[in-house]
Every structure is written in C-alpha cells, then in structure tokens.
Amino acid sequence: MSAAGDHDALDRAIVRATQAGLPLVPRPWEAVASAVGASPSLVTERLRAMLSSGAIRRIGAVPNHWRLGWTANGMSVWDVDDAKVDELGQRVGALPGVTHCYRRPRRLPAWRYNLFAMVHGRDRTEVEAQVAAIAGVLGGASRAHEVLYSTRILKKTGLRFA
C-alpha cells in the first residue's frame, strides 16, 4: 500500500475514533492514538495535516446556539439572478450576521431560490435586521426571498461515518 493509502486508512480511523467527541481525559490524543493503534505523534501529525487540507474545519466545542441565547435562527433563501449570484454571494457571506452562505440548485416549480444565507439572532427582530441588510446588498438582483425560522433542533450529532 502507498504512503498516501496508509494515511487515508489512518485518517479514516481517526475520524471514526473522534467523530462522536474527544475522550475527556488529561491526554486525549494518547487515548485516540491507542484507539487507532498508532503513535500519539503520528496521530497529531495527521490531525495537523487534516487541518491544513480543510478535512478538519476546526478542533473545539460545538455549542447548541439555542442554549447560548441565540434562539432566533432564520434560513434566508433568495432567488438571485444567475449572472450575479457568485459576486453577490461573496458579499452576503461577508456580512457580520451571516454564518453560512451557499449557492444551491433551484428545484422548479417547488423551489425557486438559489442563494441560502443562514442568520442568527437573539430574537427575530435581530434576524429581520440582518435580512434587511442582505436585501440591501442584493438589491434588484433578488426577485424574491423567504425566511424559514427553525422551530426545533431535532438532531445535531454532526457527521458519523461507519
């Protein structure tokens, strides 16, 4: 097996060993290392490599933002001119209250929106102000929009690979 193939298998093993969370022990990387059968220094080296490749977005805490007081979560969706969506999407994503911003396919006739911008606030008034700021950036390039507020978090485990 190639070195890259070895890394691939080890990386997958590290994903499986940590996707539900790090062991809460004084030496967590050692615990991960013994779970995957590698040395701690190799495990931290692979974690560093996965951080720099973007396979790991970050290592840290995932808060339930509802519990932190961010109880208003609006998924704003916009029908934006295809010729302008990429340039405008960058600008919408850069707005301070926007936490995620993606272009996604329309599903006509059921769904006309191609730009999705997630907005969080401590109440709906804050979300509405953010949505107004997005509308200001998009101007006439947006033909319609809606805000879908979340009413319940039903599951938030993150990815689970077998």
Partner 1 sequence: MPGLTDPVDRSLVDALHGDFPLIERPFAAVGERLDLDERDVIARIRALLDDGTLTRFGPLFDAGRLGGAYTLAAMAVPPEAFDRMAQIVNAFPEVAHNYARDHRLNLWFVLATPAPEDVDAAIVRIEAATGLPVLSFPKEREYFVELKLPA
Query: Closest separation between CB of residue 75 and partner 1, Å?
Result: 7
Query: Closest separation between CB of residue 38 and partner 1, Å?
Result: 14
Query: Closest separation between CB of residue 83 and partner 1, Å?
Result: 14
Q: For the range 125-129, what are the long-range contacts, defined as Cβ-Cβ under 8 Å and sequence gap of 24 or more?
A: 126/72, 126/97, 127/72, 127/73, 127/74, 127/97, 129/97
Rounded to the nearest 10°, the torsion over CA 101, 123, 78, 85 is -30
Within 70-109, the residues that bind partner 1 by CB under 8 A are 70-71, 73, 75, 86, 89-90, 92-94, 98-105, 107
Question: Looking at beta carbons only, is 37 or 109 nearer to partner 1?
Answer: 109
Question: How far, in Å, CA of 119 to CA of 113, rounded?
Answer: 16
Query: Is 34 a residue that touches partner 1 (CB under 8 A)?
Result: no
Question: Looking at beta carbons only, is 47 or 131 nearer to partner 1?
Answer: 47
Question: Looking at beta carbons only, is 59 or 143 nearer to partner 1?
Answer: 59
Question: How far, in Å, CA of 134 to CA of 119, rounded?
Answer: 10
Query: Is 50 a residue that touches partner 1 (CB under 8 A)?
Result: yes
